Amino acid sequence: MTYKQLFLQFFKFGLFTFGGGYAMIPMMSRVFVYEQKLIDEHTMTDYIAISQIAPGMIAINMANVIGRHLKGKRGSFIAVSGVALPSFLIISIIAAFIPNILDIPIVLKAVQGIVIAVIVLLSITVMNLLKYLKKYWYLLTYAFMVSMVVFFFQVPIVVVILSAILFGSIHAWILSRKEVPHA
């Protein structure tokens, strides 16, 4: 894949995907994993996880890691530029020429249709990620329990993050002990 192809591919993701990075994930997987076979499924799943935990927008983070994987630091810059440019241009044009765009009935209807498409794309992403989580059922259990505790007892998010760090550290320690043969 050339730098130009990399830029154009990410430009298309940015131009034709509504709903942000999560809506782009199925398209990125289809192109780079299944069609062009440039990234394997396991690596793409790792990149999704990295992009979620890294600060910033997931679309930018995905472009960063995929671009770097394919073409190094320059590829990272080119992919990020490609995915960000369409939004920048569209928002600039809208802000400059149409001050009350949501007051236009056809635009409002289009936005409602886009919401449905985003829900479908996000559902596809969730279904693809669930197949990897089968062997990590305890993570789903933990996420569900944390969601219920936060919802019903209004536990501060800082407590949730600190507990996740604690449980994750304990889990990593247990796994490391299982891998090391005892003498």
Res. 180: pLDDT tops 70: no
**Whether 27 contacts 63, CB under 8 Å:** no
Residue 85 lies in a domain: yes
**Whether 73 contacts 4, CB under 8 Å:** no
Residue 53 lies in a domain: yes
Q: Which residues contact 122 (CB under 8 A, 6 or more apart)?
A: 19, 22, 23
| Overall number of domains in the chain | 1
pLDDT tens-digit series, residues 7-29: 999 999 999 887 777 888 889 99
Does the pTM of the predicted model rise above 0.75? no
Residue 154 lies in a domain: no
Both tokens of residue 160? Answer: 């949730």
Assign 3-state DSSP to the chain and report helix, strand, coil percentages, each to 5. 85, 0, 15
Both tokens of residue 115? Answer: 């919401």
Q: Give the separation between CA 6 and CA 124, rounded to whole angstroms.
A: 24
Report which of 33, 89, 27, 24 is spatially closest to residue 57, judged by C-alpha positions: 24
Residue 29 lies in a domain: yes
6 against 177, higher pLDDT = 6
Cα torsion 134, 135, 137, 142: sign: negative
Residue 149 lies in a domain: no
Residue 61 lies in a domain: yes
Highest mean pLDDT out of 40-54, 59-73, 151-165: 59-73
pLDDT of residue 181: 60
pLDDT of residue 146: 86
Res. 84: pLDDT tops 90: yes
Residue 126 lies in a domain: no
Residue 131 lies in a domain: no
Res. 44: pLDDT tops 90: yes
What is the dihedral angle through the alpha carbons of 70, 71, 72, 74, rounded to the nearest 10 degrees? Answer: -140
Please give the residue range of the domain that contains residue 43: 3-97
pLDDT-based confidence at residue 179 (cuts at 50, 70, 90): low
